Structure 1
């Protein structure tokens, strides 16, 4: 089942505890991880490329038939069109990846897109809590304990047995490392197993996916420094 769940959705599920019914990450690192995951999905769909810190929509790429990806891709294409209209040079200038991660992670943009997509599959449920003043707060919780726990088990077991991870699992594990989520989800791994994970990311992950992880890690680091 987990193989059919999109990357950003799996990251959201991993980041939420079904027992205490809350996120295991702060909203900022969670948003950064989700933003990076959505951009990674667009690269995997071959709608987007990244080079030297800049995102480039692939010319002629079909808009993904996906409720979370289509709005992001549409806006990327529109921004690229606007940029070109203000430049004499027809060469694509691209858009800064760090700006897009910041934009998507702010105001729950990435989280809202992912939760809406998860809602269609029934993997999250809408909850409402009222404050002492009677004002309702809407939040979402996972409905399937297996869906939240299986990715970390899958990754940990592979590393403990010395097996190589799939590229998507490498990205998911990389997002856990970049956001600090690994301290909870991969807490049972020994240091040498974490080293093995880092080696696999460096050796086997596509350079564009590694670059997105780098920008996510940088964004999380900047968030910590500005607290």
Structure 2
């Protein structure tokens, strides 16, 4: 959600902190809510703090947005002695899989990525999803991804990706202990 606001030029990430650039409302209700929440904090707040705060309900918030836009549908499973669980199933599996396929193909073929795909690739790396998207890919695909994140990414997005990577690492470590 922060990356979305970053590319909408509503915030900037610099020196480990999130700064609001403008409070003009984005078109999307979720982006508007997140921007309002960030702007309500007077002054800059650490990226890690926002990742923690927004991560608490981001799954549900993004799922609701995708459902509202007709991209997924809720599927509730009820098993005996187990609470009902809700999964969100794509309404079009080809559309849902296209971003991962596009990134995988571009990195495997050493193609240059568009700016938004660079951001998506950086978040893929930061969250560890690159292991799945690039499964079976030649080593140069991983090398290209690491080079993108380390040297070629728009600096505010690179910083956000690094902080996200660290937050994921902390969450995994906390879960294991």
Q: TM-score, normalised by structure 1?
A: 0.72
Cα deviation, residue 198, structure 1:
1.8
- The corresponding residue for 2:48 is 98
Matching of residue 172 in structure 1 with residue 135 in structure 2: no
The answer on whether the counterparts of 1:164 and 1:200 sit within 8 Å (CA) in structure 2 is no
1:70-85 matches, within 5 Å, as 70-80=32-42
2:145 aligns with one of 192, 197, 200: 197
Q: Relative contact order (C-alpha < 8 Å, sep 6+): which is higher?
A: 1
Task: For 2:120 and 2:135, locate their aligned partners in 1 and report how far apart those are by CA, in whole Å.
Answer: 15
Matching of residue 43 in structure 1 with residue 43 in structure 2: no
Q: TM-score, normalised by structure 2?
A: 0.90
Task: For 1:140 and 1:221, locate their aligned partners in 2 and report how far apart those are by CA, in whole Å.
Answer: 25
Q: Compared with structure 1, are the counterparts of its residues 76 and 146 closer, same or farther at alpha carbon in structure 2 (3 Å cutoff)?
A: same
Superposition CA RMSD, Å: 1.7
Corresponding pairs, count: 175
Task: For 1:155 and 1:139, locate their aligned partners in 2 and report how far apart those are by CA, in whole Å.
Answer: 25
1:1-227 matches, within 5 Å, as 38-59=1-22, 61-80=23-42, 93-106=43-56, 109-133=57-81, 135-226=83-174, 227=176
- For structure 2, the residue ranges without an aligned partner over 5 or more in a row are none
Cα deviation, residue 188, structure 1:
2.7
Task: For 2:16 and 2:81, locate their aligned partners in 1 and report how far apart those are by CA, in whole Å.
Answer: 46
Tell me the alpha carbon deviations over residues 118-166 of structure 1, each in whole angstroms, 9 at most, x when there is no partner.
Answer: 1122110111111313743333111211123211221122222221111
Stretch moving more, 185-194 or 45-54: 185-194
Task: For 1:218 and 1:166, locate their aligned partners in 2 and report how far apart those are by CA, in whole Å.
Answer: 25
